[in-house]
Chain A
Amino acid sequence: METVTITMKNPPQLYLEADNVTPDKFAGKSASQIAELHVYEGNTTSTLGKYFEVAGSAGATAADTKIVVKGDVSKVKYLGMKMSAGELVIEGSADQYVGAWMSGGKLLVKGNVDAFAATGMKGGELTIEGNAGNYLGAAYRGDWRGMSGGKILVKGNAGSDVGMYMLGGEIVVNGNIDVHVMTHAEGGKVIIKGNAKSKLGGQLVDGTIIVFGTIDVMMPGYKPVGEAELEIDGVKAKFAHFIGDTGERKKKRKGQVIYGNLYKKL
């Protein structure tokens, strides 16, 4: 695997849209070719090389390419957008839309990410060592297809609207989570190791939410149905089991109504 390192040397006055920073776009290119790729600051189109120093060279394919992003990219959007293979490591914090619509490969952010990370994610692995903003793994505005595959791990806390319109895949948040989890979801799983606030699983058709900590206020559409023992990351524990959202439309399988599941550790 070949490595390309891009280092921020000339930060934007406003914000930068860098949707070309992916192993897919870098593959097969030399450092100078990569420096010619387009970036956008407001209505102005310029090149990656104007803002970043580019070193190393890419592999022949995305799968053979690793990108390391250094320096302050807290005002850079769309890093890793639509990546399908290879690796991307962001050493600091990044702005919105990190890994949006990614379908494969590994994306690691050592700092925090702002809103809309992993929008419509289809596959691959996204790890955020810091905190994630709102709408993690959600659908793009107006779309009904949120995250449908892959895995997200947030080591810190996550914002509101995580997994809105989620269809599949898994999100694990080691810390706490803000309001609205898996609203409108039709599949997938969100595991919260810390505490949750309220509005979990509102309008959820199908899917699973597992909470290890507290829930401030439950949605009325979740009916208690007893206890369940689950094994998560090799740890067995007892959980209170709820099904819902009983106010929302439901699918049927073999004449049986399918409910979403919410488990809260006892």
Chain B
Amino acid sequence: MTKTMTDVVCPFCGTLCDDLEVSLSDDGKQILEVYNACVIGTEKFLHSQAKDRVTRPRMRQEDGSWKEVSYDEAVEYTAKILANAKKPLMYGWSSTNCEAQSVGHEIAEMCGACVDNTAAVCHGTTLIAVQDIGIPSCTLGEIKNRADRIIFWGCNPAHAHPRHMSRYSIYPRGFFTGKGHKSRKIVVVDPRVTDTASLADIHLQVEQGRDYELLNALRVALNNEWLPDVVAGIPQEKIREVAEVCKSGRFGIIFFGMGVTQSLSKNHNIDEAIALTKHLNEFTKFSIMPMRGHYNVTGSGEVLAWQFGFPYSVDLSRGFARYNPGDTSTIDLLLRGEVDAMLTIASDPGAHFPISAVKQIAKIPSVAIDPHLTPTTGVSKLHVPVAFVGVEVGGNAYRMDNVPIDTRKVVDPPAGMLTDEEFLTKVRDRVKQLKGVK
């Protein structure tokens, strides 16, 4: 008889699906099947079962080879490089639980570190815009039950958030959206014909890098002002038509992704999209929501903001929190040579940062805490493997709409392995000793 565990939470993308079912072997030690999850979610659970998994920390040797070390030795190295640095950087946090993030921030405060999460290369620009002009948002449940105008701007949930459309945004039948897909008009704004775009009632194939102009033109259309014949490759009649489609809905939502947060204009794109949303509220009800990638990048922002007042790129080096992306943001810190030690946790900058920034990681004392072998663990001096959060240990995470959900432990980690939180707690206690903090 296999056992089935219900209401399991998927620790992969920001949709944070909480309806998974997992069947386990008789002894409860082996995951056999994962139900309800999408392909990438299923893969995350099954990956934890890999037989060749690294289960003990490894230190890079002079000759480039790796030597297995104990967790205690790993704690000692990590505590020392952070405590001795003038400006250490603690980056990542997006694929671990809020409990681990909180312990990490204690270390950061004692060491005068910079703390940053993967928003730095993703939705950080969104957070800048939110600080500048605020954000009228809602929960995914409200969208499922009420939204009849859905705009996907620069995002492709068909691939990045596979169950988003069926659970919340396109197909579900909600309280006021009983006809499901038929109750909704879908607008996709993307320079490419993506799989999401193929589901749209209207696809605006905006010119690359001209989202800011198109957003501005929609606001001009709402004000019934003059427009040039073509904006961002879209005829002005089409722009006015989309403005009317938005105005005529009962409840609209703009979902946006990295197509606008990381293309030309960055934070300004989001700033203008939020301004458009506010503007639309003069006519009907409209909301806007970022399609957050990592399952708990939102949580990292929440915990950082709760503890230090800012959601990413926080610089604690002078003993108080400062925040100014461009100065305190990870890639700038690395490229400019502003930091002299780096801890990476629950993310893979080695795969996502510009190569010159990755080279800088290789130059300074560095540790990577990650269950997987990644390009980042490959360039760091020390690799600390840990249990999979959401599979081998539970803990709190925040969905893309800022709803906190407790993830669940499904199986035990391999014998003797620590969790992120356990490892960081040991490092924190050692840093306390080194710094003479009571």
A residues near B (Cβ < 8 Å) are 13-15, 17, 40-44, 77, 96-97, 115-116, 134-135, 140-142, 144, 179-180, 183-184, 198-199, 202-203, 217-221, 223, 245-248
Contacts and interface: CB of A to CB of B under 8 A. Distances in A.
Contact of A219 (B216, B225, B275, B324): B216
Contacts of A43: 86-87, 111-112, 317-319
Nearest to B231: A220
Contact of B132 (A14, A44, A142, A199): A142
B356 interface: no
Contact of A179 (B264, B272, B319): B264
B99 interface: no
A218 to B, nearest CB: 8
Q: Which 8 A-B pairs have the closest CB atoms?
A: A43-B112, A247-B219, A42-B86, A42-B87, A246-B225, A220-B217, A247-B220, A142-B131
Interface of B: 85-87, 111-112, 128, 131-132, 210, 212-213, 216-220, 222-223, 225-228, 231, 264-265, 268, 271-272, 275, 279, 317-319, 323-327, 336-340
Contacts of A134: 326
B323 A141 contact: yes
19 contacts: A40-B318, A41-B86, A42-B85, A42-B86, A43-B317, A43-B319, A115-B327, A116-B327, A141-B324, A142-B131, A142-B323, A179-B264, A203-B268, A203-B275, A219-B213, A220-B216, A220-B217, A245-B216, A246-B223
A107 to B, nearest CB: 20
A14 B264 CA distance: 30
A218 B228 CA distance: 10
Contacts of B264: 179
Nearest to B326: A115
B225 A14 contact: no
Given A40-B318, A42-B85, A141-B324, A199 B223 contact: no
Given A14-B87, A15-B338, A248 B327 contact: no
A141 B131 contact: yes
Contacts of B222: 247
B186 to A, nearest CB: 24
Given A43-B86, A135-B326, A179 B228 contact: no
Nearest to A135: B326
A172 B226 CA distance: 30
Nearest to B337: A14
B112 A42 contact: yes
A87 B275 CA distance: 42
Nearest to B217: A220
A13 B212 contact: no
A50 to B, nearest CB: 13
A140 B87 contact: no
Given A14-B87, A142-B131, A179-B265, A220 B326 contact: no
Nearest to A161: B268
Contacts of B131: 141-142
B397 to A, nearest CB: 26
Contacts of B213: 198-199, 217, 219-220
A221 B327 CA distance: 32
Contacts of B217: 220-221, 247
A155 B29 CA distance: 69
Nearest to B130: A142
Given A180-B268, A246-B226, A202 B212 contact: yes
Nearest to B265: A199
A14 B338 contact: yes
Contacts of A135: 326
